[in-house]
A and B are shown apart, each in its own frame.
Chain A
Amino acid sequence: MTSRTSRREFLRAAAGLAVLVSVRPAEATPETMQQAVRAVVGTSSVTKGRVKLELPPLSENGNTVPMTVSIESAMTAAEHVRAIHVFTEKNPQPEVVSFRLGPRAGRARISTRIRLADTQSVLAIGELSDGSFWSAEAAVVVTLAACLEET
């Protein structure tokens, strides 16, 4: 038994090392998204429904994806939407945007353009004046991801 490393051993070790050093860009996982959601809703429960999240099912360019969120609400002092928060699963950071509104908004419907780093689902959570939280989810297939490298 010699201490010389055989070619086979060397290759095996090199392959293992390659797996170890291959670096993936940081990304939000469903768990980090859940943490971000918890930071917003606290211990309240979130019910599916009431929120309408409009996103294209297929996006050719993840750098700018049109998004519209809306909630049917009377938008009166007694009953209105306080905020709408948007999260993603696979962007480097789960938070996308938080909108704060009130009865003076008249209507809870907001549009903007977002970045998506990968094919993933987007979550919108609406916070109503009675303290309840509602959610909607939308899946988007992204063919060209929002670029993370190079300029």
Chain B
Amino acid sequence: MAETLISVPPRARRGEIVEIKTLISHPMETGYRRSQLGARIPRDIIRLFVCTYNGAEVFRAELHPAIAANPFITFSTVATESGTLTFQWTGDNGFSVKETAEIRVD
């Protein structure tokens, strides 16, 4: 199971723009490298990251091998209502990780 680190402010004012930082442990093997024996190391990357806010998509990133290992993404969203932010990473070899974070909006 890949480790994740998510930073979401626990509380925000209604309409405030909050910054969200996400990090996930993953080698992001490019598929262009070769082992010392000359064999091509197969690609193993996270291809998609999606953030939803109470079920509605607010941000999405389509990743390619040029994203560094342990993908780190910072983006923002408008604090509209109290609820749950869901973060989903999917990729090669059936990789799929889902995390959630709560936000309280006053």
In addition to A64-B68, A100-B61, A148-B33, 20 A-B residue pairs with Cβ atoms within 8 Å of each other are A64-B69, A65-B68, A91-B66, A96-B64, A97-B66, A98-B61, A99-B60, A99-B61, A100-B59, A105-B59, A106-B18, A110-B61, A110-B74, A111-B73, A112-B67, A112-B74, A114-B66, A115-B30, A115-B68, A151-B33
Q: Provide the residues of chain A in CB contact with B68, threshold 8 Å.
A: 63-65, 112-115
Whether A105 and B58, one on each chain, are in contact in the complex, defined by CB atoms closer than 8 angstroms, is yes
Q: Provide the residues of chain B in CB contact with A115, threshold 8 Å.
A: 30, 65-68
Question: Which 6 pairs, one residue from A and one from B, show the smallest C-beta to C-beta distance?
Answer: A106-B17, A113-B68, A111-B74, A106-B78, A64-B68, A96-B66
What count of chain B residues pass the 8 Å CB interface test?
32
Distance of B45 from chain A, by nearest CB (Å): 11
Whether A101 and B75, one on each chain, are in contact in the complex, defined by CB atoms closer than 8 angstroms, is yes
Per-residue A-contact encoding for B24-40, CB less than 8 Å = 1, 0 else: 00000010111110000
Q: Provide the residues of chain B in CB contact with A103, threshold 8 Å.
A: 78
Chain A minimum-CB-distance residue to B65: A93
Q: Provide the residues of chain A in CB contact with B76, threshold 8 Å.
A: 105-107, 109
- The answer, yes or no, to whether B56 is at the interface (CB within 8 Å) is yes
- The answer, yes or no, to whether B3 is at the interface (CB within 8 Å) is no
- The answer, yes or no, to whether B101 is at the interface (CB within 8 Å) is no
Given the contacts A93-B64, A97-B66, A99-B61, A104 and B75 also touching, CB distance less than 8 Å:
no
Whether B69 and A104, one on each chain, are in contact in the complex, defined by CB atoms closer than 8 angstroms, is no
What count of chain A residues pass the 8 Å CB interface test?
35
The listed residue (A93, A104, A109) touching B53 by CB distance below 8 A is A104
- The answer, yes or no, to whether B71 is at the interface (CB within 8 Å) is yes
